[in-house]
Amino acid sequence: MASALLELQDMEVAFTIGKKTYPALQQISFQVKEGETVGIVGESGCGKSLTSLSVMGLLPETAAMTKGGIVLDGKFMEPASPERWGAVRGKQVSMIFQNPMSALNPLMPVGKQIAEMAMTHLSVSKPEAKRLATEMMVKVGLSRVERLYDDYPHQLSGGMMQRIMIAMALICSPKLLIADEPTTALDVTIQAQILDLLREMNRSTGTAILLISHDLGVIREVCDRVIVMYAGYIVEDAPVGDILDHPKHPYTAGLLQSLPGADKRGRPLYTIPGRVPALADRRSGCPFAGRCPSATDLCESVAPDLLQAAAHHRVRCHLYANGGRAV
Ligand SMILES: Nc1ncnc2c1ncn2[C@@H]1O[C@H](COP(=O)(O)OP(=O)(O)OP(=O)(O)O)[C@@H](O)[C@H]1O
Ligand SMILES: [Mg+2]
């Protein structure tokens, strides 16, 4: 069994707005093993990006880790140590974002941006960095790379730019790649190509992937395991097949029902009624109770624990309280 590359231990992240503190992530515990592909899914505002930014040590200024911690490759990551995070970012963990245009420097040729990553983190010479960068550009499926190397971001299509971002993220052979909605801005065909590329990169380089998406369909293409988040909590965590075939949490079931599928053609898509509560509106009890078709009085008043419902299946729901064991 591969060892844990990343471990989040009972992490809480809270925003301070004025004199008030609002927890945005609570009791976040999960592991990513070496080479594993893990998805995080949930609607807008559930805390997916905040989770990934925590792992990169890039929380917004108004947010802080108020409990728990992060262990990366066996080392505890001190939240308040920019040097510690700076040393691992790009080298051990890299990230690609939804909008590559905002992450790339518009004034620098794209090839050079990849080469600079190599020079910064691998201490290689300029010609060697250029050689590695063009090699990486070929690996991520770009063609005519000699010419492309000197192109500026605005000369590239969205799909090509996302490939450049992936090349930049992978040039230093990180152990973990975090991809936050990497295909949301792309059309469906290009989206499928980028997802194939992520899967292929995971196979060929062994880089573990943490893929964030609000779309279970995207996650199913790439990931072995899925973590479902709701209102700042992990509500379910299981192998992708189990989640798709036997979802346990009513929220996961709702997400699945709202996936488009051949059998639903011609019918309007299902949407879960209601919406994710804003930070200031989070109450005691189960955070999903107000939208849950199975909610009881207990759910309104008592927050469920994350239970181990089966060997590789965790769920945070009172429906499973008798068959599960708190973790
Ligand atoms: N800078 C900020 N200041 C205050 N609240 C914030 C800030 N960034 C995020 N939040 C809040 O934290 C919660 C989690 O946000 P996060 O960005 O992690 O959601 P998400 O799951 O990534 O959503 P999306 O699918 O829209 O990207 C939300 O309630 C959001 O409003
Ligand atoms: Mg997000």
Answer yes or no: is 98 within a domain.
no
Answer yes or no: is 127 within a domain.
yes
Q: Mention every residue, 6+ apart, whose C-beta is less than 8 A from residue 87.
A: none
SS3 299: helix
Domain boundary among 151, 173, 195: 173
Nearest CA to ligand 1 atom 28: 45
What separation in Å is there between the alpha carbon of 232 and the centre of ligand 1? 9
Residues linked to residue 314 through DSSP beta bridges, in sequence order: 237, 308
Q: Report which secondary-structure segment, H or E, holds 136.
A: helix 126-139
Say if residue 143 is in the same domain as residue 276.
Answer: no
Answer yes or no: is 70 within a domain.
yes
Q: What is the pLDDT of residues 252-304, one digit of tens each?
A: 999 999 888 766 677 777 889 999 999 998 888 999 999 999 999 999 999 99
| Ligand 1 atom nearest 276 alpha carbon | 29
Integer Cα distance of 195 and 188 in angstroms:
11
The residue range of the domain holding 265 is 4-92+174-281
Answer yes or no: is 294 within a domain.
no
Which residue has 């090699």 as its token pair?
Answer: 135
What separation in Å is there between the alpha carbon of 50 and the centre of ligand 1? 6
Number of domains into which the chain is organized: 2
Say if residue 244 is in the same domain as residue 199.
Answer: yes
Say if residue 185 is in the same domain as residue 148.
Answer: no
Q: Could you read off the pLDDT tens digit of each residue along the chain, which spans 327 residues?
A: 567 999 999 999 999 999 999 999 999 999 999 999 999 999 999 999 999 999 999 999 999 999 999 999 999 988 777 888 888 888 899 999 888 888 899 999 999 999 999 998 888 999 999 999 999 999 999 999 999 999 999 999 999 999 999 999 999 999 999 999 999 888 888 899 999 999 999 999 999 999 999 999 999 999 999 999 999 999 999 999 999 999 999 999 999 998 887 666 777 778 899 999 999 988 889 999 999 999 999 999 999 999 999 999 999 999 998 765 556
Nearest ligand to the C-alpha atom of residue 61? 1
Nearest CA to ligand 1 atom 18: 47
Answer yes or no: is 287 within a domain.
no
pLDDT at 261: 75
258 phi/psi in degrees, rounded to 5? -90, 5
What separation in Å is there between the alpha carbon of 109 and the centre of ligand 1? 32
Integer Cα distance of 216 and 128 in angstroms:
40
134 phi/psi in degrees, rounded to 5? -65, -35
Say if residue 56 is in the same domain as residue 190.
Answer: yes
Domain boundary among 124, 149, 173: 173
Looking up residue 256, the CATH number of its domain turns out to be 3.40.50.300
Nearest CA to ligand 1 atom 14: 47
Say if residue 125 is in the same domain as residue 62.
Answer: no
Nearest ligand to the C-alpha atom of residue 276? 1
Answer yes or no: is 203 within a domain.
yes
Say if residue 73 is in the same domain as residue 108.
Answer: no
Answer yes or no: is 286 within a domain.
no
Say if residue 157 is in the same domain as residue 16.
Answer: no
Say if residue 20 is in the same domain as residue 141.
Answer: no
What separation in Å is there between the alpha carbon of 91 and the centre of ligand 1? 26
Domain boundary among 173, 193, 215: 173
Say if residue 186 is in the same domain as residue 169.
Answer: no
What separation in Å is there between the alpha carbon of 180 and the centre of ligand 2? 7
Nearest CA to ligand 1 atom 5: 15
Say if residue 9 is in the same domain as residue 150.
Answer: no
**Residues at CB less than 6 angstroms from ligand 1:** 15, 24, 42, 44-50, 60, 62, 214, 278-279
pLDDT at 324: 58
Say if residue 179 is in the same domain as residue 167.
Answer: no
Which structure tokens are listed for 162? 């996302």
Can you point out the beta strands (E) in the chain?
4-17, 20-33, 37-41, 63-72, 75-77, 93-96, 176-180, 208-213, 225-230, 233-239, 307-310, 313-315, 325-326
Answer yes or no: is 32 within a domain.
yes
Say if residue 24 is in the same domain as residue 60.
Answer: yes
